[in-house]
Amino acid sequence: MITQQQCQNATILIVDDQMTNILLLESILQNAGYMHVHSTQDPTQVVSLVKDVKPDLICLDIRMPQINGFQVMGQLKIIQKETYLPILVLTSEEDRETRLRALESGAKDFLHKPFDKIEVLMRIRILLEASLLHKTISEQKDSLEETVRLRTQELKETQLEVVHRLAQAAEHRDNETGSHIVRMSHYAVVIGRACNLSEEDCDTLFHATPMHDVGKLGIPDKILLKPGKLDADEWEIMQQHTVIGAQLLSNSHSPILQMAELIALTHHEKWDGSGYPNKLSGEDIPLVGRICAIADVFDALSSRRCYKEPWPLEKTLQEIRSLSGIHFDPRLIEMFEELLPVIIDIQRTHSDIDTPQFNLVESSYLA
């Protein structure tokens, strides 16, 4: 419900080339308590004035020099598409054609000059009520949308935090530092972009990659942390981290968890079909699985683990290259080599304190 006070607080713009008409209408409105009445005699200024004073109603003369009221309404069409802005046409023309044309051009109502004071105020009040009601609804809608946007953002952030902590828990059990999953996510995104994945998919990939080994949470300590080589039975159990991870992440509606499930299941598949758990080969292995396989192995070789020293860049690359078409998708390996400067930059930015950084310039590989 719009109150009289709200109406009196509204902004009204009067457009008329005759100053006497403006003064008359202004005094009627001011005597009725309206506090924000603007006016102009120049119809060419209406559009910029509307942007400046943001009126809730325009009282518009039809017959004016330069451009007439119909043309002004034509100019206001674009603004009226975005906001509800009623126009009350003031005309001395009595004919039916002018009245119809005014309504067709976007006028909400019209008044004949000379006008009756009471009628003017009543018509203005009706139009203002509609305009202010519209404004209130639109403000409520905006604030509701903003609340929903903030809640969605909060929800997404909480979801990401839980997901990252879960990934860290798995890495921690494996005696690995948190930076392995950080570097790996960055490597995966860089390769993903080179494969023309959309930015949205790259973002999902970034958050899904850290969960590739989440299934290690289900592997017994005596196998996961065994210092020596695993025997055949232990190796069998160890391989199950892919299946366990996928199960942990299954049946989610979240695109991140869905992609994470796929990565957990397929990051140890090999291009030649000799990987696990399903011995998939070639492009039967989902792209994100193939990408993560390279990112994971590259980082494992090039960083310090409890059982090994970090390999130098040249040796790491030789190994990766020699496994192209065997372990890794050869097309992705070609891309990876081209992306090397970026990869090394990521390695440098997210290095562990005790992991040496590669230097592209000094590397004999590129020298």
| 8 A C-beta contact, residue 180 and residue 311 | no
Q: Residue type at 67?
A: I
User: Residue 12 or residue 294: which is nearer to Fe ion going by CB?
Assistant: 294
| Cα–Cα separations (whole angstroms), residue 133 to 6, 85, 333 | 10, 12, 62
Question: Which stretch in 45-53, 118-126, 217-225, 294-302 sits in contact with Fe ion by CB under 5 A?
Answer: 294-302
Closest distance between Fe ion and the C-beta of residue 239, in Å?
9
Question: Which stretch in 4-12, 295-303, 314-322, 327-335 sits in contact with Fe ion by CB under 5 A?
Answer: 295-303
Does 56 contact Fe ion by CB under 5 A?
Answer: no
Closest distance between Fe ion and the C-beta of residue 245, in Å?
8
If you search the block for the tokens 């190796």, which residue do you land on? 235
Closest distance between Fe ion and the C-beta of residue 212, in Å?
6
User: Residue 296 or residue 329: which is nearer to Fe ion going by CB?
Assistant: 296
* Structure token digits, residue 58: 């325009």
CA torsion through residues 83, 86, 91, 97, sign: positive
Closest distance between Fe ion and the C-beta of residue 224, in Å?
11
Residue 311 and residue 360: Cα distance in Å, rounded? Answer: 15
* Structure token digits, residue 110: 């019209």
Closest distance between Fe ion and the C-beta of residue 174, in Å?
8
Of 56, 261, 269, 296, the one binding Fe ion by CB under 5 A: 296
Question: Which stretch in 79-87, 89-97, 113-121, 211-219 sits in contact with Fe ion by CB under 5 A?
Answer: 211-219
Long-range CB contacts (within 8 A, 24+) of 353-356: 354/304, 355/179, 355/302, 355/303, 355/304, 355/310, 356/310
Neighbouring residues of 357: CB distance < 8 A, sequence distance ≥ 6: 347, 348, 351
Does 213 contact Fe ion by CB under 5 A?
Answer: yes
User: Residue 201 or residue 213: which is nearer to Fe ion going by CB?
Assistant: 213
Does 174 contact Fe ion by CB under 5 A?
Answer: no
Residues in touch with Fe ion (CB under 5 A): 213, 296
